[in-house]
Amino acid sequence: MPLTIHASGRRSSKPNGDSMDKEPIVLLVGKNMSGALRLVEWLRRLGSESHIVTSYQEASTLLETQRFDVVLSETSLPDGDTYRLISALRGSRASLFFCLAVEDSYWWLPAVMQGRECLGVPALRPAEFAEVLQETLFELKAAAVTSHPLRSQMQPKAD
């Protein structure tokens, strides 16, 4: 059963269907994500709602019924091939990052950025990932407030 942590800090066991459209929604997928309290707290401080699930099946069910802006997933899930998340998010507006354990830290591998596959992009070290994620969440909030497209979705002006 998913655990939802709202930007206000309120916890619930069901996704909030009436959550504010201005609040970016992040899905954390993996058996160790439930222990990622610092990550969840940081996301909350950035004004994001977080949902935590432990399996691919739970993630797949939520992705079919709810909008997520960012998905953070471990690469090894107990019930399936994590890379099926790429197919599930391709063409959506969501971004997907895989968490890779490297020595005593975690690096993050961008797999989908706003619905477009980006396999082959170098992994991000923790500070780089924090910057990219913070910018992504800021852009999502700004776009929701102003109803403008994200900078990365804008087409260059023709001369």
Q: What CA–CA distance (Å, rounded) separates 143 from 129?
A: 21
Contacts with 61 (C-beta within 8 Å, 6 or more apart), sequence order: none
Domains of the chain: 3-153 (3.40.50.2300)
- What 3 state SS string does 125-147 have? CHHHHHHHHHHHHHHHHHHHHHC
pLDDT in tens, 113-132: 989 999 889 999 999 999 99
| pLDDT at residue 84 is higher than 80 | yes
Q: What is the mean pLDDT of residues 63-74?
A: 94
The percentage of the chain sitting over the pLDDT mark of 70, rounded to a whole number, equals 77
pLDDT digits (tens, 9 = 90+) for 92-115: 999 999 998 888 888 999 999 989
Confidence at residue 8, expressed as pLDDT on a 0 to 100 scale: 56
User: Does the pLDDT of residue 19 top 80, yes or no?
Assistant: no
In this prediction, residues 32-48 reach a mean pLDDT of 86
Tokens at 99, concatenated? 């968490």
Averaged over 81-87, what is the pLDDT?
Answer: 86
| Exposed/middle/buried for residue 47 (C-beta within 10 Å: 0-12, 13-18, 19+) | middle
Say if residues 84 and 40 touch (Cβ distance below 8 Å): no
Mean predicted lDDT score pLDDT of the chain: 83
Local confidence band at 31 (pLDDT 50, 70, 90 cut-offs): confident
The pLDDT of 76-85, averaged and rounded, is 84
With 0-12 / 13-18 / 19 or more C-beta atoms within 10 angstroms meaning exposed / middle / buried, residue 80 is: middle
